[in-house]
Amino acid sequence: MKKTLCLIFSILFVLSFAGCKIRNKEEDRPTLDTDASGVDIIKYAKKGKIPELKYALGDDADAIIAALEDDEDEAFSIMDGDEYTTIITPDNANLVFETESKEKKIKYIVSFGKSYGFENEVDPNTVSEVMDKKGYSAKLSAIPKKLMQFVPASANCDCLSYTVSGYSLNFVFDNNYLAATILYKKG
């Protein structure tokens, strides 16, 4: 009798763990709100954010610089230009603001790392398929001249550009691999 009870409890114990594992796998699956990477691209784009980065469009550049200076572990640099000044952050992004602006708000975010769950070197078809499922479509075309100044690109550089609630979300591909993501507010 004891052996039978131990066997029954052992089977129940194993099945309960198996049930938890199956339930967790189902929770990790994409929903209508998230894509295969688990990121709600549209939600973040509407907020002027790239989820993998600390800062957003409209953030104060002076406050960002002060925060980076306070964190001695974070190496960053600033490139001053005639029209734009760029904060090069430790998380492989450029935060761009107008040099002559009094308010110095971030106007462009250029990410050279993982963006919206997409790893570098993902192909344009993958990004396009995910965005199509979200109801946004774009045709792969040459990167807009306005954005060329923000990315060191080769002659084989193309772009998927999406408009999401007044924001322009641009996935830049170099030789058919994701090289950068550029987000800015239109207008």
Domain segments of the chain: what residues?
41-185
Alpha-carbon span 12 to 14, nearest angstrom: 6
Q: What stretches of 40-149 adopt beta strand conformation (E)?
A: 77-80, 84-88, 93-98, 108-111, 141-142
In this prediction the pTM is: 0.78
Model confidence pLDDT, tens digit, residues 112-161 = 999 999 998 899 999 999 999 999 999 999 888 888 888 876 667 899 99
Which ranges of the chain would DSSP assign to H, the alpha helix?
2-28, 41-46, 61-70, 124-133, 145-148
23, containing H or E segment: helix 2-28
Looking at per-residue pLDDT, the higher value among 162 and 10 belongs to 162
Q: DSSP 3-state assignment of 45?
A: helix
Give 51-102 pLDDT, tens digit per residue. Answer: 999 999 999 999 999 999 998 777 899 999 999 999 999 988 999 999 999 9
| Cβ count within 10 A of residue 47 | 14
Instruction: Indicate if the alpha-carbon torsion angle 87, 102, 62, 48 is positive or negative.
Output: negative
